[in-house]
Amino acid sequence: MPTTLFVNACMRGAQSRTLELCREYLAAKQDVVEVDLSALRLVPFDGAAAGHRYDLQKAGRWDDPVFDLAKQFSSADEIVVGAPYWDLSFPAALKTYIEHVSVCDITFHYTEQGQAEGICKAQTLTYITSCGGFVEGANFGYEYMCGIASMFGIPETRFVAAEGLDVVGMNVEDQMNKARSIIAKLNGR
């Protein structure tokens, strides 16, 4: 059965409208594994931690828990990222997660010609967000994740957003419904 990895960067938990959309998208999936970034509280890599991880890589110590998130990401059949639009991109917890999964010889590797090549199994990365305003011209979080998908060898990225949710006078339910209709199309309904 295909596994879907849900990377949950919806920092407001049950109050999050992004999370509401993610749950609707995921309801059509069978085998969903969730990584809850607000619960996980990952720490960004500093020089010493990055150096230690590199030493483990060189020594072939792939059983070390520092590689667990990367292995989980690399072996999933589909990736779903849920992240609110914060400061023109996404919460820092998602960037920290990417630091943890971006590991040479797990999510990507170098060919004999020295080219980086993605080695993840997933064929799609679906990015779901919601925004106080509108992302047009400043969709930096999604664009960054498209770069990461390309680096990791994931050929297709898809974008869902509910926009304008904090605009005074906006019909929030209408905006959420527009995103729901995109979700329904992605799920083939």
Ligand X SMILES: Cc1cc2nc3c(=O)[nH]c(=O)nc-3n(C[C@H](O)[C@H](O)[C@H](O)COP(=O)(O)O)c2cc1C
Which residues bind to ligand X, rule: CB under 6 A? 10, 12, 16-19, 84-88, 130-133, 165-166
Contacts of 188 (CB under 8 A, 6+ apart): none
Cα gap 128→172, rounded to integer Å: 16
Choose between 106 and 135: whose C-beta lies nearer to ligand X. 135
Least separation in angstroms between CB 90 and ligand X: 9
Instruction: From 127, 122, 25, select the one nearest 77 (Cα to Cα).
Output: 122
Choose between 122 and 179: whose C-beta lies nearer to ligand X. 179
Choose between 87 and 112: whose C-beta lies nearer to ligand X. 87
Here the tokens at position 85 are 């639009």
Helix (H) or strand (E) holding 81, with range, is strand 78-82
Least separation in angstroms between CB 29 and ligand X: 20
86, β-bridge pairs: 89
Q: Where are the alpha helices (DSSP H) in 2-118?
A: 17-26, 37-40, 47-58, 68-75, 92-101
Least separation in angstroms between CB 174 and ligand X: 14
Least separation in angstroms between CB 95 and ligand X: 14
Least separation in angstroms between CB 166 and ligand X: 5
Nearest residue (beta carbon) to ligand X: 132
Choose between 73 and 85: whose C-beta lies nearer to ligand X. 85
Contacts of 74 (CB under 8 A, 6+ apart): 101, 106, 107, 119, 120, 121, 152
For 53, phi and psi rounded to 5 degrees?
Answer: -65, -40
Choose between 74 and 175: whose C-beta lies nearer to ligand X. 175
